[in-house]
Amino acid sequence: MTERSRGRPRAFDRDHAVLEAARLFWRRGYSGTSTRTLSATLGLSTSSLYAAFGSKAGLFEEAVRTYAERYREIYQQAVAENDIQTVIERILTESVHEFTQPTGTHPGCLISSAVMTDSTSTLDTSAYVAELHTSNEQALLVRIQRAIQDGELVADTNAAVLTGLIQTVWHGLSARSNVDTTREDLLATAQLAHQLICRQLAPSMS
Of 193, 171, 190, 194, residue with least CA distance to 182 = 190
- Tell me how far apart the alpha carbons of residues 133 and 125 are, in angstroms, rounded to a whole number: 12
Q: What 3-state class would DSSP assign to 48?
A: helix
- Tell me how far apart the alpha carbons of residues 39 and 115 are, in angstroms, rounded to a whole number: 24
Domain boundaries, the chain: 67-201
Cα maximum dimension of the chain: 84
- At the fourth CATH level, the homologous superfamily of domain 67-201 is Tetracycline Repressor, domain 2 (1.10.357.10)
Give the H/E segment covering residue 118.
Answer: none
Could you list the mean pLDDT of each consecutive 10-residue stretch along the chain, which spans 206 residues?
A: 46 88 87 92 92 93 90 96 96 95 79 68 85 96 97 95 97 90 96 94 65
pLDDT of 84-137, one tens digit each? 999 999 999 999 999 998 877 787 787 776 666 667 778 888 888 899 999 999
Residue 39, amino acid: S
- 105 burial via Cβ count (<10 Å: 0-12, 13-18, 19+): exposed
Give the H/E segment covering residue 69.
Answer: helix 56-78
- Tell me how far apart the alpha carbons of residues 200 and 156 are, in angstroms, rounded to a whole number: 12
Give the H/E segment covering residue 146.
Answer: helix 123-149
Of 25, 41, 17, 182, residue with least CA distance to 117 = 25
Q: Centre a 10 Å sphere on the Cβ of residue 121 and count the other Cβ atoms it contains.
A: 15
Give the pLDDT confidence score for residue 3 in this predicted structure. Answer: 45
Give the pLDDT confidence score for residue 85 in this predicted structure. Answer: 96
- Tell me how far apart the alpha carbons of residues 163 and 10 are, in angstroms, rounded to a whole number: 47
Of 55, 63, 89, 54, residue with least CA distance to 74 = 89
Instruction: Report DSSP state, residue 120.
Output: G
Give the pLDDT confidence score for residue 118 in this predicted structure. Answer: 65
Give the pLDDT confidence score for residue 195 in this predicted structure. Answer: 96
